[in-house]
Amino acid sequence: MPDHTPGLHLIVDLFGASHLDDMTTLDSALRGAAAAAGATVLADHLHHFGEGHGVTGVLVLAESHISIHTWPETGYAAVDIFLCGRSDAHKAADHLRAVLRPERVVITEIARGQG
């Protein structure tokens, strides 16, 4: 069993959020979140499911990953911020909140790998 915590995983649910069908804003928001946290982007992939539909975006990081899946029709976005090492997951969450301006946010913290 590991004697350390590999990482902090924030499960972030955004309700009443904006820009959820806007690839450019979402890409910028994810990269800004990684930068705010002090994380290093290894790869990214965004996919738009078509006009009026949602976007899936994933940043693969040296410190794990940040992902977003959006439902613009309801204003809901499911965000995961899983960061290891010294990067600060809450700063990434703060950045996404500032850009996507949800009416309500629910954040659940999970310490991964504690056993």
Q: Catalytic site residues?
A: 64, 69, 84
95 near its own copies (CB under 8 A): no
For residues 46 and 10, is the Cβ–Cβ distance under 8 A?
A: no
Supply the minimum distance, in Å, between the C-beta of residue 37 and its own copies: 16
Q: CA–CA separation, 41 vs 28, rounded Å?
A: 12
82 near its own copies (CB under 8 A): yes
In terms of C-beta density within 10 A (0-12 exposed, 13-18 middle, 19 or more buried), how is residue 67 classed? middle
Q: Sign of dihedral through CA atoms 80, 20, 91, 101?
A: negative
43 near its own copies (CB under 8 A): yes
- Residues forming contacts to its own copies in the complex (CB under 8 A) are 1-2, 6-7, 9, 11, 13, 15, 42-43, 45, 47, 49, 56, 58, 60-62, 64-65, 67, 69, 71, 74, 76, 78, 80, 82, 84, 108, 110, 112-113, 115
